[in-house]
Amino acid sequence: MEKTDILIIGAGAAGLMAGCELAKTGRKVCILEARRLPGGRIHTISSALFQGIVELGAEFIHGDLPLTLALLKEAGITYHKMGGEFWRIKNGVFTHEEHFIDHWDDFMKELHKLEKDMTISDFLEAYFSGPQYTELRASVTQYAEGYDTADTKRASSFALREEWQEEDHAPQYRIDKGYGELISYLADMVKQHGGSIHLDSAVKEIKWGKNEVIGTTHDGGQFSAAKIIITVPLSILQPDDTEHDAISFSPALIEQQAAIQKMGIGAVIKILLQFSEPIWQDVSIQERTGNNMKKLGFFFSQEMVPTWWTQYPTESTLLTGWLGGSTAEAMKDKTDAEILDIALASLATILHLKPSFIKEKLLTSYIANWTAEPFIRGSYNYDTIESKAAREVLSSPVADTIYFAGEAIYKGTEMGTVEAALASGKAVASRILHGN
């Protein structure tokens, strides 16, 4: 049995960050990771089939986020500002995104008046059910399902109000060589400070008592420590999870498992399509829009795969499709080939291009179906009306021995991001070291 001071389950951004912080102070840290590579929901690939690097998971830095940017600086990792035009496309008609939601101001006014939280779908039903609001309802639902990957029948109106009340003009960035560089840096730091990272080591069972844990992996490996940090996605800890990647606790964590069920776990499918040419600059589109589309950033539609983006300002023929929320959840068991067909059909309808033309220009594709991905099984956390109380339960250590961390445990404004995961990892390390 390998003995260590602190056992960390999961080598995503949160686990590695916590590992780094603890190892730097001389604590003996051992990280157990189920997959064959670290990073979790950060997965940068570079393959000869794609031009340049491709992000299967996290891709953007959503603003001037202090921890992420400080780490990039420390590691000497370069990044660049994104930009580009945003378009909304309906029935082949392109309009600039800024003009897109009618009745939005009325909607926000009513949302501000709300005194008792309710789900966003109940809110729309209660205040904006009339036919004149059809478009508004569709747009709000699409935004919550697309950006937050939330189920609108569970998502909290208060949480969305907080998120939407400030128009966010903060710059967004991409890391030049991908988020994978940050993961490599953190993993190296853990090892340089004497920590160990075991890949392909799925933890199946955690036996615990005060200041005493034993984690057992799928192949019978045993690791003991005084404390354990659990950073796996919450979907893996669902008590009704019958999948082979579930973790059992002995004694069971009844209160924590009840809390996990109250949290929102989103769903997402990200579709990466490498074309032989930038099909969005096709002459037929230029004629229809009077725009050469060279600066196209994002485009939004109401097709099955509604949201797409280019790599602008980087010159690239990669197009990324994004499907979040309940539709992604409903499609999670489809094969990659089925999802690709649906994505190509959406793209053909949105851009008014022939499906045969799109297929002919497609060089390669990758379907990142995170909701079906073993050891992940979802996108990221969104707030339900019960999340606040549930998160309090999960952020409190169990007998000063079991600690939860990860993007879902983070309390702050950058929910569901890499920043959230890093901040949570840092906070849990500080709690173990200093009790706060």
186-245 residues in contact with ligand FAD (CB under 6 A) are 202-203, 231-233, 236, 245
Token readout for 174 is 């991409």
Under the binding rule (CB under 6 A), the answer on residue 416 touching ligand FAD is yes
Of 8, 11, 89, 323, which one interacts with ligand FAD (CB under 6 A)? 11
Task: Determine contact, residues 264/387, Cβ cutoff 8 Å.
Answer: yes
Of 40, 146, 195, 264, which one interacts with ligand FAD (CB under 6 A)? 40
Instruction: Give the type of residue at 68.
Output: T
- In this complex, which beta carbon is closest to ligand FAD, that of residue 359 or of residue 411? 411
The pairs formed by 206-212 with CB atoms below 8 angstroms and a separation of 24 or more are 206/9, 206/230, 206/247, 206/248, 206/249, 206/250, 206/402, 207/250, 208/249, 208/250, 208/251, 208/398, 208/399, 208/401, 208/402, 209/399, 209/401, 210/399, 210/400, 210/401, 211/399, 211/400, 211/401, 212/401
301-360 residues in contact with ligand FAD (CB under 6 A) are none
Closest approach of Cβ 253 to ligand FAD, in Å?
15
Of 275, 298, 370, 404, which one interacts with ligand FAD (CB under 6 A)? 370
* Number of residues that this document lists for the chain: 436
Under the binding rule (CB under 6 A), the answer on residue 35 touching ligand FAD is yes
Token readout for 120 is 């966003």
Closest approach of Cβ 38 to ligand FAD, in Å?
7
**Burial class of residue 70 (count of CB atoms within 10 Å of its CB; 0-12, 13-18, 19+):** exposed
Residues 423, 426, 432, CA angle at the centre, nearest 5°? Answer: 140
- In this complex, which beta carbon is closest to ligand FAD, that of residue 390 or of residue 420? 420
Burial pattern 379-418, b for ≥16 Cβ within 10 A else e, equals: bbbbbbbbbeebbebbbeebeebbbbbbbbbbeeebbbbb
**Residue 207: beta bridge partners?**
214, 250
Q: With CB under 6 A as the contact rule, which of the stretches 54-62, 330-338, 353-361, 386-394 interacts with ligand FAD?
A: 54-62
Q: With CB under 6 A as the contact rule, which of the stretches 53-61, 219-227, 274-282, 309-317 interacts with ligand FAD?
A: 53-61
Site mask for ligand FAD (CB under 6 A), range 60-79, x = bound: x-x-----------------
Q: What are phi and psi of 174, to 5 degrees?
A: -125, 145
- In this complex, which beta carbon is closest to ligand FAD, that of residue 247 or of residue 432? 247
Of 8, 9, 155, 358, which one interacts with ligand FAD (CB under 6 A)? 9
Of 22, 29, 33, 395, which one interacts with ligand FAD (CB under 6 A)? 33
Of 268, 293, 343, 362, which one interacts with ligand FAD (CB under 6 A)? 268
Under the binding rule (CB under 6 A), the answer on residue 379 touching ligand FAD is yes
Under the binding rule (CB under 6 A), the answer on residue 421 touching ligand FAD is yes
- In this complex, which beta carbon is closest to ligand FAD, that of residue 136 or of residue 230? 230
- In this complex, which beta carbon is closest to ligand FAD, that of residue 180 or of residue 282? 180
Report how far residue 202's alpha carbon sits from residue 250's, in angstroms, rounded to the nearest whole number.
17
Contact footprint for ligand FAD (CB under 6 A) = 9-15, 32-35, 40-42, 57-60, 62, 202-203, 231-233, 236, 245, 247, 268, 270, 368, 370, 375-376, 379-380, 406-407, 416-421
